[in-house]
C-alpha cells in the first residue's frame, strides 16, 4: 500500500507541474500585453513598468513562470485588478458559501440517489426501474441553470415557499440558512443525484448476484435485511468514490448555480472576474479548482486501493 501511495504521489507531480503551466499560460494566451490586462483601466507608464518588473515580463517565459510559481507557493496569488484585494483573501472569503452550497447539494443528491438506485436494482426490469433509469438520463440532460430557473419560478415566485437569492451562513441561523440554500442545492445536486443513482443501481445489481447474498438468503435472512444490511454496504463502495470526485468538483458546479441564485461564492466570483477581465482572480480560482479536483482524485484512488487491495498490486 505504501509503495502504491508513493507511486501515485510521484505520478501526481508532473501533472501538478503541467497544471500550473496551463494556469500560468492563461494570461499569456490572451491577446495583448499581460501587464495591460492585469492593470485594466489604470495604465500609467509607471504602473506598466512596475508590473513588467514584478512579473519579469522582459525575461524569458520560463523565468516568468518560475517567478509566478514562487509567488503562488508562498501564498501570494496576486491582487484583484478591480478591488485590489489579495486574490487569496477574495477566494477565502467566498469559499464558505460555496462549500456550504456544494455539501448541501451533495447531501440532497445522496438522499435521492441511494433509495431510488436501490429500488431500481432490486426491481430490475420493472416499471419502477424503467422510470428510475429514464429519470437518470433526464437528470444529466437538463441544464442545472434551467432547473434553478424553474425552481425559482415555481417555489419562490409563484408559491413563495422559499426566498430567492441571499446567503445566510449556517452558523448564524441554521434554519434560515437551510431555507436559502435549499433551491440552489436542489438545482446543483440534481445531475449528481442522477449519476449517483446510476452507480448505486449498477453496483447493487452486481452485488446482489454474489454468492454471499445467495447464502444469506438460504440461511433465512429476509430480503429486506439482505438488501439493506448485506448488499447496500458493499454496493456503496463505488458510489463513495464518485462522491469523492463530486466533492472535488464543487467549484465547477457552483459557477452556474451561484450565478442564477446570486449566491456569493467562488463560482460567482469567477464569472464576475471574467467579465471584469480580472485575470489574476480567474487564475487563482482555476488553480484552486484544478488542485481540489486533483487532490480529490488522489484521495479517491487511495481510498479505492485501501478498500480493494488488488488495485495496489495491479
Chain residues binding another protein by CB under 8 A are: 11, 14-16, 18-19, 21-23, 26-27, 29-31, 137-138, 140-143, 145-146, 149-150, 152-153, 157, 248-249, 251-253, 255-256, 259-260, 270-271, 274-275, 279, 282, 285-286, 289-290, 293-294, 297
By C-beta, is 100 or 258 nearer to another protein? Answer: 258
By C-beta, is 31 or 220 nearer to another protein? Answer: 31
Closest distance between another protein and the C-beta of residue 250, in Å?
A: 9
By C-beta, is 28 or 214 nearer to another protein? Answer: 28
Closest distance between another protein and the C-beta of residue 148, in Å?
A: 9
By C-beta, is 227 or 260 nearer to another protein? Answer: 260
Closest distance between another protein and the C-beta of residue 155, in Å?
A: 12
Closest distance between another protein and the C-beta of residue 234, in Å?
A: 18
Closest distance between another protein and the C-beta of residue 37, in Å?
A: 10
By C-beta, is 89 or 140 nearer to another protein? Answer: 140
Rounded-to-integer distance, Cα 188 and Cα 147, Å? 8
Closest distance between another protein and the C-beta of residue 274, in Å?
A: 5
Q: Is 56 left (phi over 0), alpha (psi -120 to 50) or beta?
A: left
Phi and psi at residue 89, to the nearest 5° = -70, -45
Closest distance between another protein and the C-beta of residue 296, in Å?
A: 10
| CA dist list (Å): 137 to 157, 162, 192 | 28, 27, 11
In SS3 terms, the chain reads as CHHHHHHHHHHHHHHHHHHHHHHHHHHHHCCCCHHHHHHCCCCCHHHHHHHHHHHCCCCCHHHHHHHHHHHHHCCCCCECCCCCCEHHHHHHHHHHHHHHHHHHHHHHHHHHHHHHHHHHHHCCCCHHHHHHHHHHHHHHHCCHHHHHHHHHHHHHHHCCCCCCCCCCCCCCCHHHHHHHHHHHHHHHHHHHHHHHHHHHHHHHHHHHCCHHHHHHHHCCCCHHHHHHHHHHHHHHHHHHHHHHHHHHCHHHHHHHHHHHCCCCCHHHHHHHHHHCCCHHHHHHHHHHHHHHHHHHHHHHHHHHHHHCHHHHHC
By C-beta, is 10 or 171 nearer to another protein? Answer: 10
By C-beta, is 104 or 190 nearer to another protein? Answer: 190
Closest distance between another protein and the C-beta of residue 10, in Å?
A: 12
By C-beta, is 178 or 274 nearer to another protein? Answer: 274
Amino acid at each position: 500500500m505504501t509503495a502504491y501511495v508513493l507511486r501515485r504521489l510521484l505520478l501526481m507531480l508532473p501533472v501538478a507541474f503541467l497544471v500550473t503551466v496551463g494556469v500560468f499560460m492563461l494570461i499569456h494566451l490572451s491577446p495583448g500585453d499581460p501587464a495591460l490586462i492585469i492593470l485594466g483601466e489604470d495604465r500609467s507608464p509607471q504602473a506598466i513598468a512596475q508590473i513588467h518588473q514584478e512579473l519579469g515580463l522582459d525575461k524569458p517565459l520560463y523565468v516568468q513562470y518560475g517567478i509566478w510559481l514562487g509567488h503562488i507557493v508562498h501564498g501570494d496569488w496576486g491582487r484583484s485588478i478591480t478591488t485590489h484585494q489579495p486574490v487569496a483573501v477574495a477566494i477565502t472569503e467566498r469559499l464558505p458559501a460555496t462549500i456550504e452550497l456544494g455539501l448541501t447539494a451533495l447531501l440532497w443528491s445522496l438522499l435521492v440517489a441511494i433509495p431510488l438506485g436501490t429500488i431500481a436494482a432490486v426491481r430490475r426490469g420493472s416499471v419502477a426501474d424503467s422510470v428510475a433509469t429514464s429519470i437518470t438520463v433526464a437528470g444529466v440532460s437538463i441544464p442545472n441553470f434551467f432547473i434553478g430557473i424553474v425552481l425559482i419560478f415555481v417555489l419562490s415566485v409563484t408559491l413563495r415557499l422559499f426566498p430567492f437569492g441571499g446567503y445566510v451562513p449556517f452558523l448564524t441561523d441554521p434554519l434560515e440558512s437551510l431555507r436559502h440554500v435549499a433551491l440552489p442545492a436542489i438545482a446543483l445536486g440534481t445531475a449528481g443525484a442522477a449519476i449517483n443513482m446510476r452507480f448505486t443501481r449498477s453496483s447493487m445489481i452486481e452485488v446482489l448476484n454474489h454468492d454471499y447474498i445467495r447464502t444469506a438468503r438460504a440461511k433465512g435472512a429476509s430480503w429486506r435485511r439482505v438488501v439493506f444490511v448485506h448488499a447496500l454496504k458493499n454496493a456503496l463502495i463505488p458510489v463513495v468514490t464518485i462522491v469523492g470526485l463530486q466533492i472535488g468538483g464543487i467549484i465547477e458546479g457552483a459557477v452556474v448555480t451561484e450565478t442564477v441564485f446570486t449566491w456569493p461564492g467562488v463560482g460567482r466570483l469567477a464569472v464576475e472576474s471574467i467579465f471584469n477581465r480580472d485575470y489574476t482572480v480567474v487564475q487563482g480560482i482555476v488553480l484552486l479548482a484544478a488542485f481540489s479536483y486533483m487532490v480529490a482524485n488522489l484521495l479517491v484512488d487511495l481510498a479505492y486501493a485501501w478498500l480493494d487491495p488488488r488495485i495496489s498490486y495491479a
